[in-house]
Amino acid sequence: MNAYIFPGQGAQFTGMGLDLYKGSNEAKELFKKANDILGFSITDIMFEGSAEDLKQTKVTQPAVFLHSAILAKTIADSFKPDMVAGHSLGEFSALVANETLSFEDGLKLVFKRALAMQKACDMQQSTMAAVLGLEDHIVENICNNTEGVVVAANYNCPGQLVISGEINAVNLACERLKEAGARRALVLPVGGAFHSPLMEPAREELANAIENTKFNTPICPIYQNVSAQAVDQEDIIKANLIKQLTAPVKWTQSVQQMIADGAKNFTEVGPGKVLQGLVKKIDRSVATSSAIIP
């Protein structure tokens, strides 16, 4: 069975999408439509902007979404998913690819999400940290017993977990995680505590937009970050997507469940190869590849 996976924030690179734009009339039209919807020329930033330009949340999230969603449409003839999943932001690309969301609605929600998250980040200083070399339950236990807000946020693969929360709480947790034997506990250069309770203002803002967006019956199940289970009912997809901003990304669990349900080939659709690396660390026996521009 074929699983298609979609990367999240952090996969962006300068010049991203230019080959897509040049190689397909359909892609060109979709990029132009995106500029109109966003009200600024995101293509200029994607194709010609600096790494610094691309790092702005209001640019990064729609840019990664556009690269993935447009690539999925460009490879339409060979795009035959039995299941899809996306890492954090990538869940929106996956929902466009499996036709739960229209391209236009997906982009509008992603832009709304980016602005809402930026606003939440500006309200309170917060951060995230990557923890390597510890079992999940040890990381969870230390977070639960650290003063302040700090939670397990991204279950990326066995032995790699990202924590998220208030700056002091994350720093304190990092010290304790190193004492507990973590190979590394490294604060990340991010603008805020994604997938933590500190994103509640953004979740509320995005929830309203999601509630008012039309969701269609998908062509195949999506394994959502919140549940790590196959979902094909619009109302459940919607409810899970609303929870996503303040809940952890269960990527390890999602991939394990996809494999248990028969996934043999994982194709990453979008910039980079980060998810392929994570899939291989979760289970070396499955095949991974990148979606190729026709």
pLDDT digits (tens, 9 = 90+) for 58-99: 899 999 999 999 999 999 888 889 999 999 999 999 999 999
- Pick the catalytic residue: 67, 164, 195, 254? 195
| Average pLDDT of the residues in 235-244 | 97
- Pick the catalytic residue: 24, 68, 88, 196? 88
Rounded Cα distance between 165 and 152, Å, is: 9
Rounded Cα distance between 36 and 45, Å, is: 14
Rounded Cα distance between 45 and 48, Å, is: 5
Q: Which fold has domain 2-122+197-290?
A: Malonyl-Coenzyme A Acyl Carrier Protein; domain 2 (3.40.366)
Q: Is 195 a catalytic residue?
A: yes
Q: Are 58 and 107 in contact (CB under 8 A)?
A: no
Domain with CATH 3.40.366.10 in the chain: 2-122+197-290
Pick among 3.40.47.10, 3.40.640.10, 3.20.20.70, 3.30.70.250: CATH of 126-187: 3.30.70.250
Rounded Cα distance between 73 and 107, Å, is: 14
The tens digit of pLDDT for each residue in 95-140 reads: 999 999 999 999 999 999 999 999 998 988 899 999 999 999 999 9
Domain with CATH 3.30.70.250 in the chain: 126-187
Judge residue 50's burial from the number of C-beta atoms within 10 Å of its C-beta, 0-12 exposed, 13-18 middle, 19 or more buried: exposed
